[in-house]
Amino acid sequence: MSNDKPVNEPREYAGAGTLFEGKFGDIPFESPVSPVQLGPEDPFRFSCHPGISCFNECCRNIDIQLLPYDILRLKNRLATTSYDFVARYTVPFQMDQHGMPGLKLCTKSGSRECVFLGEEGCTVYTDRPTACRYYALGSMGVRRKDSAEVEDMYFVVREPHCKGHEEPKTQTVDAYRREQGIDKYDAMNREWRDIVLKKRSSGPTIGAPSGRSLQLFDMCSYDMDKFREFIQTPGFNGIFAADAIGLDRLLEDEEALLAFAMRFLKQVLFGEMTIPQRAGAREARLEHRRAHIRERRVAAAGEERASSRAYDMPADGGDETQEDDRE
């Protein structure tokens, strides 16, 4: 039996992050989201099949956020690089006020139709993104105030064009997720979702991430080809020994590489030290950083001196050299 709960009651969600935007308590009255929270064993009525009158209607008006594993699957499906896939098939957006980078799937020019919708339907069906697999369910990760655990919650998205809700078939959320092959996608994206939620709920004490952190987040989330190159650079290998990280396997197995990228992000962003570093690497990196800061200060001081000299330049356009020459 369903233990459905109305979602507009006050709740104890902290951060209330979601990969699909908004939070339960914020769902507007006119939202297509059914105001019922579902758990994995809760049933809901829905069926989608090629014979249905609205077939592919949902692909003609999309707003789909892509997750790291979606991008891995799609770029391999299209036999291209992650950089090329992101450039050709995605639109960037900011996931929060600190500029955490997100990507949405492109639409065709001048319409809201998915770029992968063809005459016969989805042209990337067996590699379709997580959001397409879930629809007409939505999913949400919620962290309670007093817990580090992130709970999975689900809700039904009920849009007028979708006739699947009128079909007689009823199944549990878990059965639907299995049928749609979602387990693998959720497993591969779970660490990333947790990172995003933790970053969102970390509050002003942690502060805005640095530009460097955002770049690393972008690479680790959406550009596995670049990350593969990154872990082979001398700078990276000076800190992490190839044997300790299992470099050979990471270079051959992209799913292992993505999982490693998430561990690396957690280490960089939250100090969760799960990847062993070479002895003395931390001290060497700190010294390198100090030297870099010193160099930047010296360069900035030089620029400041040059600009104050420029400010003193005579109004007749002469310069110090000419002055010197005249003396």
- Of 27 and 122, the one with the shorter C-beta distance to ligand SF4 is 122
197 three-state secondary structure: helix
Contact 19, 193 (CB under 8 A): yes
- Of 176 and 240, the one with the shorter C-beta distance to ligand SF4 is 176
Min dist CB 26 to ligand SF4, Å, is 24
Residues that bind ligand SF4 (CB under 6 A): 48, 52, 54-59, 62, 114, 116-117, 122, 124, 128-129, 132, 135-136, 161-164
Bridge partners (DSSP) of residue 14 are 143
**CA–centroid distance for 227 within its chain:** 15
Closest residue by Cα to residue 139 from 222, 3, 24: 24
Min dist CB 53 to ligand SF4, Å, is 8
Closest residue by Cα to residue 70 from 199, 224, 262: 224
Min dist CB 56 to ligand SF4, Å, is 6
- Of 38 and 59, the one with the shorter C-beta distance to ligand SF4 is 59
Min dist CB 115 to ligand SF4, Å, is 7
Q: What tokens does 220 get?
A: 């680790």
Half-sphere exposure of 258 (CA within 13 A, CB side): 20
Min dist CB 224 to ligand SF4, Å, is 20
Closest residue by Cα to residue 77 from 118, 124, 114, 120: 124
Min dist CB 84 to ligand SF4, Å, is 18
Contacts of 237 (CB under 8 A, 6+ apart): 231
Min dist CB 43 to ligand SF4, Å, is 18
- Of 126 and 233, the one with the shorter C-beta distance to ligand SF4 is 126
Bridge partners (DSSP) of residue 118 are 121
Rounded to an integer, what distance in angstroms lies between the CA atom of residue 264 and that of residue 271?
10
Rounded to an integer, what distance in angstroms lies between the CA atom of residue 137 and that of residue 131?
9
- Of 38 and 117, the one with the shorter C-beta distance to ligand SF4 is 117
- Of 59 and 195, the one with the shorter C-beta distance to ligand SF4 is 59
- Of 13 and 135, the one with the shorter C-beta distance to ligand SF4 is 135
